Structure 1
Amino acid sequence: MYCQNRIFITTLFCLLCFSSLEVDAQIIKTNTINRGVVDETQRDSSGFWVFNNSFDDLIIESILTNTIYGDSVLRFYINDSTIAVGDSLYISVLFTPKHNIEHIIPIILKTSHDEGAFGLEFEAQVQYSKTYYSSTQNLSESSLKSTLNNIISSNHNVLSYNVARDNMYATLDNHGGLVECVYTGRSASFNTRSGAVANNMNCEHTFPQSMYSSSPPMKNDIHHLFPSDQSANSSRSNHPFGVVTGTPNWSVGGSKRQGNIFEPRNEHKGDCARAMLYFVLRYGDYSNFFSPQESVLRDWHNDYPIDSLDEYRNNGIFGLQGNRNPFVDYPQFIDRISTLVGPTSAQVKTNYIVSEDTIKLVNRIPGSQISRRLIIANSGNVPLLFSNMNISNSGINILSGGSAKSLEPGEQFSVLLEYNSSNVYSNDSLTFQITSLSSMSTASLPIISKTKMDIVEPSSTDKYVVPTPEGLMFFNISGEETLQLFDFNGRLIASKSLSQGPQELYKWFISYPNKGWVRILRNGKVSICKFVK
């Protein structure tokens, strides 16, 4: 009678234990983090939970995302990259936006899970805290350029040249009674036009006034006027800005000139660049003076950021002229305008993110039908069509995501592959086509097998488990195992390490759920068995 029962138990358990190893593989319980409307000063964090409902420790290998105009605006904070079986982990996401645009950003978790990657989407609409620029929201290139021009032109109170210089010498560039030459660093104590003359100082027009016949309002616009030593101003003359590479003809205080190229000292490079950017945005490029310099001025604008004195000066000029320099308030505006001269359009970028450059399928004996998730995201700046997805091996099936999919920038989709884990893959690939309005290309991702932990199929001498009223009954125990009990959602309930020696029958006196899993570990091998009460 006992032998008959034993045979029945063995047969039943082989079916229960290895007919399926499936659990709910979705480890992230949300698809989207939506921050709503925020401004650039709101640096609070949000986040999401990751649940390990598998039978192994889950490792967050990396988190993939894209940039916004070259800036990484999402930062991720985790206490530990390894999540124990049945445990969970909160990943905090800090959003540090720079641009007042709609943000759609993919978040892709590469994990050690058999299914591979998991993804969600971050969404936010950013508005600038300075409402002066509210009409620029979600604009770029020509539309942004024309809108900014309208903003800084419409309320511009044109000052006389005398009033402009009076305020420059008395308040805007007077710090503690001293006025400093922007090119040489020489300072003098004065606060009037006559004091400037007495100290051999005068007014530098960053965009030379000879280019526009010294006409107002260009000549009088304080945004590009600065105090300068007379000799330095004379040496600069109407020469374009650039980098001096040889022996200079003139050099004082860090500024230098070689031939017709003038390079300001480092302390003024950023201010000089932003004054030029403002002038051309406001008035245009007289005599094609700016265009050949635009590249180096953009570099100086980025390399020498604004400081508190720049902000003080911008606020002061706003109080006098009624307009502001956008590139002082929000230096990042320049990232959304490819050129300030003539027609402008963004360079087309057809970049995309794939969660795996090489698709690594799990190989284990015995095999079963399992799945692997590949996530593809559009990290470029134009819509992309992903189509013609094919796999070279007919034994690997595309369960979902194989049809043509059009993605806007920031969007993502999943491709779920099904395969038999007992097979070894080495010379296979997944291919697909990427199409934009201006280009078409084909991607090919190699498919290989990676060895996973052994999951040992029960045999006549292996370990079996059956539920009893008092607990779980195990057969053929060596006494050196570690037993782990999980509920059906993969949550660890209890663990027990054995050390009592071999036993044909072993009963674990424990309260257990109506259905669940037992993982049996010994000598690096794992048996996973499902039970139903």
Structure 2
Amino acid sequence: MKKNMLKGNIVLLLWVVSLLLSAQIPAGYYEGARGKSGAELKTALHNIIKDPKVLSYGSGANSTWYGFTKTDVRPEDGTVWDMYSNNHVEFNGNSAAAGMNIEHSFAKSWWGGAKRTAYRDLHHLNPSNQQANSAKGSWPMAYVTGKKTFDNGVIKVGKSNNRPGGEISAWEPADEYKGDFARAYMYMVTCYEDYASDWTGNSVNQLDNNTYPVFEQWTVDLLLKWNREDPVSEKEKTRNEAVFSLQKNRNPYIDFPDLAEYVWGDRKNESFDPDAGSSPAIIHPVDGSIVDLGINTVNSQLSYMLNIKARNLKGDISLSVTDNHFSVSRSVLTKEEAERGVNVELTCNLADVLEYSGTLIITGGGLENAVSISLKAQAVSNIPALPATDITSEGFLARWVHLPSIKEVTLHVYTRDGDKILPLDGYPRQCFSEDQEAWVTGISYDTTYYYRVTSGDMGSNEISVFIPAPVPMISVASLDGDLNFSTEPGMASETKRVNITGKYTYEQIHVMVDEPFEISVDNREWFRQIDLSSAGGTVWVRLSDSAPEGEHVSELLLSSEEIEEEEILPLSGLVAVKKAFFEDFETGSKGSYASGVVTCSKGRWLFDDALMGAQNGDLKQGKKSARIRNGYIEMQDDKAGGIGTLSLYAGLYGSDTNGKLSIWYSSDSGVSWNLIAENIALTKTLTKYIYPVNISGNLRVKIENTGGNRINVDDIEMSDYRVSGVDDIGTSTVKVGVLNGVLWIEAPEKSSYSIYDINGVLVRTVTVINRTEVYGLPLGTYIISGKNVNGGVKILVR
């Protein structure tokens, strides 16, 4: 218990520190929106935030799940912050957490799915409980006012009469997140304004195919209401900063909580000024918001810690409360305290059985108007039972308020047949009062249950719970790690297994892939589409033997007539000619710096004051890399065929701040050494360096740390020596040249090429379409690497 508390305290401390140190809006970031309003303002914002640098989708380094470890961590215990359920699930490194999906709050079927940037945009992606994800589907967002098909105490799914003209199917978030999702929806139609003509599917009840106002009027009214009633929270601000650090774009509706009014609301005819917030203001709590101290028995006390934060104050501020049942622990906060952020304690003495209301008033400090926060609390004479949460077809969570004088309560669960009460099997049963909740199982769906708790002469109110029918869902998991494949031209790749499970499903599950991937149910016959029974099964996936050379990105698509939203697993693959020499250090092990020979993936290496690094601080392409302290790594066997071009990845280990490497080659089996590159200064990012060697014969290479601090080296690649002195691209359709001091690259298809300087440092990456001129390169020698330029070609710009 103490260990868990310590962990939670540390996480909370780090979260608070992150708030204090969070980045500010870059100067001039919103300058393009100044003076605009309405449709013009929305388009200006689009031009500011479009083209986010999105991560890869799914699991792994620099993926969506890696992003969630930065953006969606509960500060109290370090678990995944799920806005679709009350579950507290531990993170699973950079892989999917148990029982969770990546949820597109703005449904992916509305705009084309995985083939578009919005599919990977963290500003509207959230980790979600699988069942809630499946239940939500691709329905519009609204109040659920009719029959519910899903309710887990956080989100509801069912019928809504919000849209004029009749009921629609919709989903509704919890009150505490309504503003979060409203601002995410506003962000999506702004950032992806250029998708306007593509809105499709179930978006028809929420969006129109235009750039303004985009939302149907009922949705405009709804989102503005939620934006006002659930103001921007510290969670949103922290998340916005975290996403900005990853994607380099922001959600402006979080940065400026009243911005929505200038685009769609009461101020859409007024000019927006991004600097309008320079006057004294209380940032938290928001003027007009409500603080609920909770519920307890009469003759007890309730307390609540409220964080107060201000900006641009001209002096101290004063705090006071109305209604003498309420009190506040501080009456004055200094300017410095308030601008830094400080907690004050609110209390309410519960003298009678009633609902208490009061007001916290904040004045002074140059505030133009007093800030008023509504306070409420409730005193009861019996045990308060609370509404059930986590309601599924299999069970629900019954809840009550713990009263300090009671150790145990009796939980009664039953159905009714007229006036007759029919207890559920196993009930009533005893529970510890301090648990405040108990799982109820063994139930039937499409049935209303009731529960109450008692202790001696005290009893609670009665809570009713309707159990919805099961929600059909498909769960999918790779049994063999990430679905990344590699092979050579003309050869099928290795196969990987994917387990697919249908739950509450009765229709077939359709499994599909696009070329050049293929799937099988027996690892022998291969197809692009197969159908599984409603229970699911295991399929094998691979790159086909007809896959062309190059990188391939696709997806494994799972669908069923019963399920609105398709399930998608990302696939990626690489088809490349076998490398003449490639050492990835994935084979072999060495855990100390003592000198020793290790047999690695490509051959034997002498590790002198070096080891095989597999820790979090080690920079690596796969699971391991070489870590060099004050020594070197040296090949113990010659490479036949000479060396045309040599490349490697290198960077600084852990928190080390200085590190350099030098590269040598030997043509006499290590008796003497010749310099290739000297004292290359490394960074904390694993960076690729490439060097032309152009030496024939039997050679070996040594890589030495000449900087004093630890470094990592990985993925050493060497091409064979060519008579031309560089890799032969004479048979390639790629051409490289210089005209009037400007480098040009010509390719028959759209491809990306990397340009390195003579020291092997990446200068620029360019996308070539037909013939592309690369302007702005200083005079010097450069190495161009990319598709059909095996190992790189050296060229002089002069």
The answer to whether TM tops 0.5 is no
Larger proportion of helix: 1
Larger Rg: 1
